[in-house]
Amino acid sequence: MTSDTRSLRGKVAIVGIGETTYYKHGQSPEPEFKLALMAILAAAEDAGIDPSDIDSFASYSNDRNDPSRLAAALGTKELRLSNMQWGGGGGGGAAAVGNAAAAIITGQADIVVVYRALAQGQFQRFGRAAAGGTVSGDNALINPYGIFVPAQRYALKFMRYTHEHGIGREAMRAIAMASYHHAQSNSRAVMYGRPLTEEMYDSSRWIAEPYRLFDCCQENDGAAALILVSAERAKDFRHPTAYVLAVAQGSDHRNAARSFNAPDFASSSFGPVAPHLWEMAKLGPGDVDVLQSYENFTGGVLMSMAEHGFFKPEEANEFLALENLLAPRGKLPLNTSGGNLAECYMHGLELQIEAVRQIRGQSTAQVPDAHVAGVIAGPMVTPVSTMIVGSQETL
Amino acid sequence: MTYLPPGLPAPVTEADRLDLPYWEGTRQGVLKVQRCGACNTWQWGPEWLCHHCRSWDMRWVAVEGKGRIWTWTRCWHPVHPALKNHGPYLAVLVELPHAGNVRMLGNLLGDPQQEVVIGAAVEAVFEPHDEAAAPYALVQWRIA
C-alpha cells in the first residue's frame, strides 16, 4: 500500500510550460543545445520566473544536453539536482516528471525544469540504422535478420496482440485520425493544415506489418520544457495550477529478456505499472477527462490504454471508434494537441505540456471542465512510465 | 546465397564471451540454448545465471531446430542502406516448444509475400557467412 506520506499526490505542481517551434526532422535552423535553452526560457517566461532561479534539471532518454552546461549557459545561481531517467527512451517522459517531483518533496530541489531536445538532422535518427560494422549481444540475435528500428521491433509485439485479441485495422486508424484531427486546430503542429482521411490511411504504404506509414510517429526537431515547484509555492504563480497526482514507472517480469523472450512480450509493458498509478492518484480510468497517450505506433497506444484499464482488449475495436476519441465531447478525447503523430515527436514531452494546457483550459482542442488528465509515456519499452495531472478541484 | 543482401552488420561474440557457445554451434549446424544444471529451466537469450533459481550452473544444450511461428512482421521500409531497393522480407519470432518455449528471431525463407500463419511449424536452416572477416552462421527458418 502507498501511504499518504509515500505519495506524490498533490504535493508538486507544473507551473510553467514551453516549447520551441516544431520542425520536421533535420529542418531546425538551430542546433540542439540552443533549442533546449529556448524551450527552458519559454517555460520560465510562462511561469513568470527568472530563468536563473531554476536550480534543478531532469530529463530522459540520454538527452545530450548536459545540465551543468545548461546551468552555466543560463546563469543558474545554484545547481541542486542533475537527474537522468535510466533506460526506456521515450518511455521515460513521465518518469522524469516523477523523479523531479520526488526530489522536490524530499528537499533535494526547489525549481526543476524537465526538458527534452532533439535535432535529428544534427544527430542520428531513431528510424534509420547506421551502415556496416559488427554487432554483439542482443543486437547480434536481431540486426542480421534486418530488424533494427522500433517500428520493426514493436510490429512483432502488436502482430501477436492482434492475433490474440482480434484487433481490427479500424481501431488503429481511429488512433491515427484522432491525432491528425486535433492537430488541425493547433497551429504549433507540424501537421497543421494537413488532415488525414480514411482513404489516405488505408492506402498508405506498409512500414513493417501491421504498421502503415500513418501508424508511425514522425521524427522531429525541437525542444520542450516544464517547470515544477512544490504545491505550496505553486499558489504564487499566474496560471491555474496543474498538480501532479501520480506517477508510476517500471515494467513487467523480465521485460528485457534477450531475443524477445519477455514472458508478456505482446504488451505495452504497463501491466504491473498502471495499478500503482491508479492507487497513488486515488482515481480510476473512468475518472480521466482527457488522455495523452504516446504514439510511437498506434498499436502501442491501443495496448497502453487496455493495460491502463480504459477498456478490455476484446473491447478495443468498439471503444476505439473515432467519435469516442475527439474533443470536446468524445467519451475519452485522445492526443488533443496532435501528439507524436501530428503535433510533434518531441519524444512525448509535448504530451505532458498538452495535459497541463487541458487542466488550465488553454488547449486548442479543449475538453470542457477537464480536471483529470492522463499522460502515458512511450509504450513497449522498459522501463515505461505514466502520470496523472489534475486541477485544484481534484485535491 | 543468403536471404538478405550483403552489407548488414555481422554478429560477433560478446567481448565477455557469454554467447560464444551459441555462435560456435551455429557454424557447426548445431542449435544451442541455455539450460540450468540445477533446476532444468530453459533460458534464451543467454545470461550468466538462471533467472529461475539463480544458479550459476548454466549449460549449453543442443536442441532440435524445430519450432512454430509465435509472431512475425513483413518489413517493407528499408531502414538500412544494404536493404535499399531490396523489397519486402519476413522476420519471424519462433517458439521452441521442446525447449521451454524459448523464442528466437530469424527470417522466414521462401516467397517474402507468402501468407504467414501464427502457429505454423518451421524448421531451422543454417545460413553460413564464410566470407565474413569473422565467419558466422545465422539460423533461418522454413515452413516444415
pLDDT of residue A263: 97
Q: Is B4 on the interface with A (CB under 8 A)?
A: yes
pLDDT of residue A127: 75
**CA torsion sign, B49 to B54 to B60 to B63?**
negative
Q: For A60-110, how does the pLDDT look when each residue is reduced to its tens digit (9 = 90+)?
A: 999 999 999 999 999 999 999 999 999 999 999 999 999 999 999 999 999
pLDDT of residue B11: 97
- Cross-chain residue pair B13–A148, CB shorter than 8 Å: no
Q: Quick one: A70 exposed, middle or buried, by C-beta within 10 A (0-12, 13-18, 19+)?
A: buried
Cross-strand pairs, A84 = A59
Q: Is B80 on the interface with A (CB under 8 A)?
A: yes
- Residue A198's SS3 state is helix
Question: What's the angle, vertex CA B53, arms to CA B52 and CA B56, rounded to 5?
Answer: 110
A203's enclosing H/E stretch is: helix A198-203
A303/A306 Cα distance (integer angstroms): 5
A144/B22 Cα distance (integer angstroms): 15
A-chain residues near B63 (CB < 8 A)? none
Q: Is A151 on the interface with B (CB under 8 A)?
A: yes
Q: Is A160 on the interface with B (CB under 8 A)?
A: yes
pLDDT under 70: residue ranges of chain A: 1-4, 132
A261, A265, A303, A380: which to substitute to probe chain B, counting the most B Cβ within 10 Å?
A: A261
B-chain residues near A126 (CB < 8 A)? none
Q: Is A124 on the interface with B (CB under 8 A)?
A: no
- Cross-chain residue pair B138–A206, CB shorter than 8 Å: no
User: Which cell numbers in the block locate residue A100?
Assistant: 523531479
- Residue A242's SS3 state is strand
Residue count (chain B): 144
Distance, in angstroms, between A95 CA and closest chain B CA?
27
A127/A266 Cα distance (integer angstroms): 21
pLDDT of residue A5: 80
Active site residue A23: no
pLDDT of residue A3: 53
A-chain residues near B99 (CB < 8 A)? none
On whether the CB atoms of residues A352 and A116 are closer than 8 A, the answer is: no
Helices (H) and strands (E) in chain A, counts: 11, 13
- Cross-chain residue pair A156–B46, CB shorter than 8 Å: no
A-chain residues near B82 (CB < 8 A)? 131
pLDDT of residue A2: 45
Please report the number of interchain residue pairs, chain A to chain B, with beta-carbon separation below 8 angstroms.
Answer: 138
Active site residue A243: no
- Cross-chain residue pair A148–B103, CB shorter than 8 Å: no
- Cross-chain residue pair A135–B51, CB shorter than 8 Å: no
B33's enclosing H/E stretch is: strand B31-36
Which of these, A155, A132, A161, lies nearest to A144 by C-alpha position?
Answer: A132
User: Is residue B34 predicted with pLDDT exceeding 80?
Assistant: yes
User: What letter does residue B118 receive in the DSSP assignment?
Assistant: T
